[in-house]
Amino acid sequence: MAKWIGDRISTEDHPNDTTIIIYPIKKRVREILLTAWVLSFTLVGLYLIYILSTGVENLNAPEDWTEEDYRNQKVYLIVFIGFWAYFEYKTLKALLWYKFGKELIRIDTEALHVKRSIFSYGKSHRFFFENIKEFGAQERNETSFGQYFENAYWTVGTDAIGFKHFGKSKSFGRKLDEKSTRLLIRFIDDRIKKLRKKKAKAQ
């Protein structure tokens, strides 16, 4: 039977493993606004791409525009479309994540398995316990603009829990608050100890 940590983390114990599901933040009004924003932003970008592909010379421009004016307009469109493509990717990814995404964590007797999925698609990564170092909460800096930017609703957000694996930083737990992060870390530590003890007794 599934048990909950807060309103976003579902946990369930099985004979030989424990599964954890972390769901995205669900805010219906913001989700509707983000959907409308993505649709509008997509249409604007596609229209600008259409203008660029058909030639800026076909614009209803002032009669006194010179060849240099058209060239500058083309450069402006290319730069704008570049920025548009970046934010289009970020916001569309966030929208799909909020609607259809989740983080799947499985703890067995040997390893921690972490998978991020959208529409059930995603790759599971296995981290053996003996190779996991410095497991704990990620450092937060609420006054940092970068932190604020990365955790805006139109982005997927930063991870709350991290660790080192062969010297590389790994993390999970997108946009978890401090209380949920603390409880989840305690829960994972407890289940790792129990499962490893069970394995040792079976040997």
Cβ atoms of residues 174 and 153 within 8 Å: no
Q: What's the confidence (pLDDT) of residue 11? A: 97
Report domain 3-28+101-202's class: mainly beta
**∠ at Cα 31 (28, 32), nearest 5°?**
90
Structure-block tokens of residue 100: 């259809």
Contact status, residue 112 vs residue 127, Cβ threshold 8 Å? yes
Q: What is the pTM of this model?
A: 0.83
Q: Are 106 and 18 in contact (CB under 8 A)?
A: yes
Tell me the per-residue pLDDT of 178-196, one tens digit each, with 9 for 90 and over. Answer: 999 999 999 999 999 888 8
Of 101, 107, 143, nearest in space to 122 by CA: 101
Phi, psi of 14 (to 5 degrees): -125, 170
Tens-of-pLDDT digits for all 203 residues of the chain? 789 999 999 999 998 899 999 999 888 898 899 999 999 999 999 999 988 888 776 666 666 677 787 788 888 889 999 999 999 998 999 999 999 999 999 999 999 999 999 988 899 999 999 999 999 999 876 665 556 666 677 788 889 999 999 989 999 999 999 999 999 999 999 999 888 887 777 76
Q: By three-state DSSP, how is residue 165 classified?
A: strand
Q: Which among 110, 115, 75, 117 is positioned nearest to 199, based on CA atoms?
A: 110
* Sign of the alpha-carbon dihedral angle for 185, 190, 193, 199: negative
- Summarize pLDDT for 87-96 with one digit per residue, the tens: 999 899 999 9
CA diameter of the chain? 87
